[in-house]
A and B are shown apart, each in its own frame.
Chain A
Amino acid sequence: MSWTWFHRLGSPPYIYGLARRLTPWLAWPAGALIVAALYGGLVLAPPDYQQGDGFRIIYMHAPSAWMSLMVYTTMAVAAAVGLIWRIKVAHAVAASCAPIGASFTLAALVTGSLWGEPMWGTWWEWDPRLTSELILLFLYLGYMGLRGAIEDAQRADRTSAVLAVVGVVNVPIIHYSVTWWNSLHQAPSVMRVGKPTLSTAMLVPLLMMLLGFTLYFAAVLLVRLRAEILNRERSASWVREVVGT
């Protein structure tokens, strides 16, 4: 069993080249999947029998919520790898994740609120999912705030990595406690429409959307990762070849 592949994954020039070559292979399928899923979700899927056409918000809300969690997990795993094996590239991945994840968490909150107004009759409901998303947004903001507050790049990497790991251990606990809290305070006056049961014609665009956004995340992450790697490699000779002076 050879470990060369593992060491190569820690080498900035190798990762930079790999990221550049891989990006179009992820970006084009992502774009195609999302466009196809938009058509499927907006046109082909039938309206829900309870929520009518309002349920179509799910094709934007679910991928945003999925992104918010997937990006946080990716960030924490990369941060842990960077801490344990002292791999600079892993820290660069974690740094690239935060702004992407935070912006999609915000999108999940906005779309959740837009979905809530017609279904619950209120723009904001202290529903366990929305509340958890809000707390996740605070976790992202704290991570970015900590990273921005430390001037030394290496210390910023390692300190924020500890926070990311602590955060990911806490996410399930927070989600459980918020669900528990919500189950105690069910307000009977609020109209509750059942969650839409998705038929195949509704489900297929949703799965395509989730896959499309996952590929999209990988593509955006790789572009950001190249920027982060360049910022960290102050004076390596391979940078000269890459930027072509």
Chain B
Amino acid sequence: MDRVREFLDMGGYAAFVWPAYAVTLAVALLNVAWARRALARSVAAARRRLAGGGDS
């Protein structure tokens, strides 16, 4: 338990280290989510175009 607390404390730098990790990893995960959403939207738009028969 103490080792976990010590790890989380980061030698007193917890208030700086953990937000830095949170921000960067959040940006990384958000980019994955945005890219997947963009692809899903483009596929859906292409399907609509093709199903509609006409040009968008």
Q: Which residues on the A side are within 8 Å of B13 (C-beta)?
A: 52-54, 56, 118
CA distance A191 to B7 in the complex (A): 27
Taken residue by residue from 56 to 91, chain A's Cβ proximity to chain B (1 for < 8 Å, 0 otherwise) reads as 110111011000000000000000000000000000
Count of A-B contacts with CB under 8 A?
A: 109
Using known A-B contacts A227-B42, A240-B50, A243-B50, determine if residue A54 contacts B27 with beta carbons closer than 8 Å: no
Whether A53 lies near B17 (C-beta < 8 A) is: yes
Do the beta carbons of B24 and A231 come within 8 Å of each other? Answer: no
Q: Are A52 and B51 in contact, with the CB atoms below 8 A?
A: no
Q: Contacts A107-B24, A243-B43; is A53 near B31 (CB within 8 Å)? A: no
B35 touching A227, Cβ below 8 Å:
yes
Chain A interface SS verdict (over half)? helix
Tell me whether A107 and B35 are in contact (CB under 8 A). no
Minimum Cβ distance to chain A for residue B46 (Å): 5
A106 interface neighbour in B27, B41, B43, B51, Cβ under 8 Å: B27
User: Is B16 within 8 A of A114, CB to CB?
Assistant: yes
Contacts of A234 in B (CB 8 A): 49, 55-56
| Cα distance A240–B51 in the bound complex, in angstroms | 10
CB distance from A24 to the nearest CB of B (A): 13
Separation in Å of the A188 CB from the closest CB of chain B? Answer: 24
Say yes or no: A57 contacts B32, CB within 8 Å. Answer: no
A220 and B11 contact, CB distance less than 8 A: no
Q: Is A158 an interface residue (CB 8 A)?
A: no
Cα distance, A122 to B43, chains bound together (Å): 47
**Cα distance A99–B27 when bound, in Å?**
11
Within 8 A of B (CB), among A16-53: 34, 38, 42-43, 47, 52-53
Q: Is the CB of A245 within 8 A of B47?
A: yes
Which positions in B face A, CB cutoff 8 Å?
A: 7, 10-13, 16-17, 19-21, 23-25, 27-28, 30-32, 34-36, 38-39, 41-43, 45-47, 49-51, 55-56
Known: A220-B31, A224-B39. 14 other contacts (CB 8 A): A53-B17, A54-B13, A56-B10, A59-B21, A60-B23, A99-B31, A103-B31, A114-B19, A114-B23, A223-B32, A223-B39, A224-B35, A226-B42, A230-B45
- Which 7 residue pairs of A and B lie closest in terms of their CB atoms, listed nearest first? A53-B11, A60-B24, A230-B42, A54-B13, A227-B42, A223-B35, A227-B38
